[in-house]
Amino acid sequence: MDISVVIPLFNEEESLPELAAWIERVMSENGFSYEVIFVDDGSKDKSWSVIETLRQQNKNLKGIKFRRNYGKAAALNVGFSEAQGDVVFTMDADLQDSPDEIPEMYRMVREKGFDLVSGWKKKRHDPISKTIPTKIYNRTARCISGIRLHDFNCGLKAYRHSVVKSIELYGDMHRYIPILAKWAGFNRIGEKIVHHQKRKFGKTKYGLDRFYKGYLDLLTITFTSRFGKRPMHFFGLWGTLIFLAGFVIAGFLAYDKYVNLAFKMTERPLFYFGILAMILGTQLFVAGFLGELISRSAFDRNHYLIESTTGIEPAGD
């Protein structure tokens, strides 16, 4: 199969028929074999009924319905597990992403060798209250990750099949799929300017809270990706440095008191900073030690992504 299109949705009953017809037209014109996987994230409207009707009309369409709303990352993760296409696309269900972009993005993956191609909504049809925070957020993500993308959170993306099978999404980590892909070893990440359309039906499902949550998630994914399997490298280092700073302060005050006969150590504010530093340093070091114990007992502690082998026979049962 050439293409899988994973579409998470929440209360999008009005846009689904037009989106399905649009995708079908693009696939037919380009001769692609395909599947469309709609993931209904606990919609309260008639979205699931619409999906069932569309499935009867086109057997290339499939549907998964959550019992309640879990979020976009969960919907994408389930869709990725079901996708069978050589190239897997994601797009939003609100008609703001154009299926006409699929053929060129498909060629970028299949012919130009990209592992992931992310859409860039260079000209956005969004209010300034969304565009300015988005630019700040994208600039921060570029600086931290080193990935030169202009629009990390664009819903329209194309992935090599092996990429979606090698990453796991949870929480709100759908914003950082390019970062997850890079840290999984997929470094050929490209970008394509895509057409962004005005919302035709309904209203946006995201509020301003997504921006501060996005920064918290960025810190989380950065830390877990770099230190998830070696927490002592972070906590142990900083714990040791802070403890040594406190120890040096305590040593200086002790020398000042007993050699220079200065006034009481406890009468100097620096004394309490030294004690605090030693306590914090000890706590951080212990946190790193406990993190190592937890990491050693994790089920995926020795899980590594193997791209290919030669001369290795598959293990028997």
Please, what are the averages of pLDDT over each run of 10 residues along the chain (317 residues)? Answer: 95 94 96 96 93 95 93 92 96 93 97 95 70 78 86 92 90 84 91 83 60 69 71 87 92 80 74 91 89 70 54 55
Question: Which residue, among 145, 281, 300, 309, has the nearest Cα to 228 in the 3D structure?
Answer: 300
Please, which residues bridge with residue 7 across strands?
Answer: 38
Total of domains in the chain: 2
pLDDT value for 127: 63
CB 73 within 8 A of CB 172: yes
Whether residue 301 is contained in a domain is answered as no
60 & 205 share domain? yes
Please give the helix or strand (H or E) that residue 65 lies within, else none: strand 61-65
181 & 253 share domain? no
DSSP state of 192: E
Sign of CA dihedral 165, 171, 177, 183: negative
262 & 173 share domain? no
248 & 199 share domain? no
Residue 270's domain comprises: 232-296
pLDDT value for 59: 94
Whether residue 317 is contained in a domain is answered as no
pLDDT value for 317: 45
Q: Report the alpha-carbon distance of residue 141 to residue 176 in Å, rounded.
A: 9
**Token output for 311:** 């001369």
CATH of the domain at 89: 3.90.550.10
The helix/strand count (H/E) of the chain reads as 10, 7
71 & 186 share domain? yes
Q: Report the alpha-carbon distance of residue 163 to residue 152 in Å, rounded.
A: 16
116 & 205 share domain? yes
Q: Spell out a b/e string for 225-238, using b for 16 or more CB atoms within 10 Å of the CB, else e.
A: bebebebbebbbeb
25 & 150 share domain? yes
188 & 204 share domain? yes
Question: Which residue, among 12, 10, 47, has the nearest Cα to 200 in the 3D structure?
Answer: 12
88 & 165 share domain? yes
Q: Report the alpha-carbon distance of residue 7 to residue 5 in Å, rounded.
A: 6
Cα-Cα end-to-end distance for the chain: 30
185 & 240 share domain? no
Whether residue 94 is contained in a domain is answered as yes
Q: DSSP string spanning 2-53?
A: -EEEEEEESS-TTTHHHHHHHHHHHHHHHT--EEEEEEE-S-SSSHHHHHHH
Q: Does residue 15 come out as left (phi exceeding 0), alpha (psi in the -120 to 50 range) or beta?
A: alpha
Query: What single letter denotes the amino acid at residue 103?
Result: P
Whether residue 86 is contained in a domain is answered as yes
The contacts of residue 17 (CB under 8 Å, 6+ apart) are 50, 54
CB 72 within 8 A of CB 8: yes
